[in-house]
Amino acid sequence: MNRFIKIGEAAKLLGVSIQTLRRWEEDGYIVPAKRSKGNTRYYDVESLLGKKMEDRLTIAYARVSSHDQKGDLKRQSQVLSDYCAKHGWNFQVVEDLGSGMNYQKKGLRSLLSMILEGRMSRLVVTHKDRLLRFGAELVFALCEAKQIEVVLINQGSEISFEEELAQDVLEIITVFSARLYGSRSKKNKKLIEAAKVLISDDT
């Protein structure tokens, strides 16, 4: 015999907030089994458990810093697609174009919403710095709290501490010079190229 529960218990069962459950209902993702005369929602436990256990979407996240890296973005997305397809996952690739220090990118904000709402089963990235230059561990902690698997493909060999530090410094220079001079200005490009030469000489 089916067991029916109210919205608070249903949200707790799914591990989401009541507001999220209501939003899912508006989107048609969850439908109450019945309503009382006073319009109280009742959800079927068996149906909710089925939603909880089904293979939710795998999100593969790809990012590059600038427009002239669009070719790299395409290759990165292809690596992610091939990896997910090989494992038979139901997946979607989310692409972003922007600095790893920019937390307002459209794709990243969409990814964070899906993590917080528990609408995905796993996150796949080629390397942690493709997610964020600083703060990737925080996103991974959110995934752990929401029982979302994190997969790092880690193409190629691991870079040294010095190389990683050099990349971080170059990212900072790129962001601040773009703010000062504009991302496409000649002065900005000259400054970045000079920084690359200087950093490569020191590493």
* Secondary structure letter of residue 109 according to DSSP: H
Identified catalytic residue from 65, 77, 99, 177: 65
Q: What are the two backbone dihedrals, phi and then psi, of residue 34, each rounded to the nearest 5 degrees?
A: -165, 170
Among 79, 78, 80, smallest CA distance to 60 is for: 80
99 has catalytic annotation: no
In angstroms, rounded to a whole number, what is the distance separating the alpha carbons of residues 144 and 134?
A: 18
SS3 (DSSP) at 4: strand
**DSSP secondary structure string, 149-185?**
EEEE---SPPPPHHHHHHHHHHHHHHHHHHHHH-TT-
Which residues have a catalytic role annotated? 65
